[in-house]
Amino acid sequence: MSLTDITDFAEQLARDAGDLIRREREHNTLRTDYKQQTELVTHADLMADEFITNAIRQRFPDHRILSEESMPDLTQAESLDTPLWIVDPIDGTVNYAYGHPQVAVSIAYAERGRVRAGIVHAPFANETFRAIDGQGATLNGAAISHSQCSVPREALFATGFPYTKDALEPLVRRLNTMIHHCRDLRRIGSAALDICWVACGRLDVYYETVSPWDFAAARLIAIEAGASAGHFSTVPDGYPEDLWGQDILVSTPALFEPVQTLLRQASE
């Protein structure tokens, strides 16, 4: 099966899952719970996760799945023997629970640790970001590219914060540095959309520490839109860079090195 066929399959899955979670919020009573006592999860997260992962298993029984809700085993990212699907059924669950529209279904497909296809679908905005390795990125079928911002002082940046609050000091230092050197901050609440918004020019910089399901698809979309993606700390030897979530940085190419330097200095 070609990458185009695989991406078409992922896009249809994301759209169908988006319809499901939109219906659940609009027509049914929202049911919520917590995992690890801090992170919100809704019944719709679990329904969408089951829908997506079951469809992948049926179509590709030999492939592996790394999914936030049902299969969050991060060691899957280190195994390179068979293709891997990386799934976030609802990126932006808190937004979803509060009725905010910045919600996305994220599905990525990787081979030997390299993300080859990515879909990020925002059901409430009716926006679908799509990328295939080496073939560019689109939003609702139209080609997208980054903002070309080249001066940190003119940059609009986004980041996020963990639900656990016991290690906030370094994050606050970085935020303080970025606020003093950039135009302003936007707190979107969905890492996948943050990165896609860098890809299409709505933001200039994004940085954060997140899990593979939060960023794998969006990172490819940003790269295929001409943005730069990497890290402001060291990626462990042998770990696939496409799936390493610690200290991610995505930005316009001209901003990458100066912002990387700012964040490294703030982390010292």
- Binding-site residue positions for Mg(2+): 68, 88, 90-91, 214
- The H or E element that residue 208 is part of is strand 205-208
Bin 65: left if φ > 0, else alpha if -120 < ψ < 50, else beta. beta
Task: Answer for the pair 82, 67: CB distance below 8 angstroms, yes or no.
Answer: no
In one-letter notation, the amino acid at residue 29 is T
For residue 115, what are the β-bridge partners? 110
Can you say which residues are annotated as belonging to the binding site? 68, 88, 90-91, 214
Q: Residue 266 is encoded by which pair of tokens? A: 């703030």
Q: Residue 52 is encoded by which pair of tokens? A: 């997506």
Q: Residue 82 has what DSSP assignment? A: S
Strands in 43-164 per DSSP E: 64-67, 84-91, 104-111, 114-122, 127-132, 137-139, 142-143, 156-158
Can you state the angle between helices 169-181 and 253-267, rounded to 10 degrees?
140
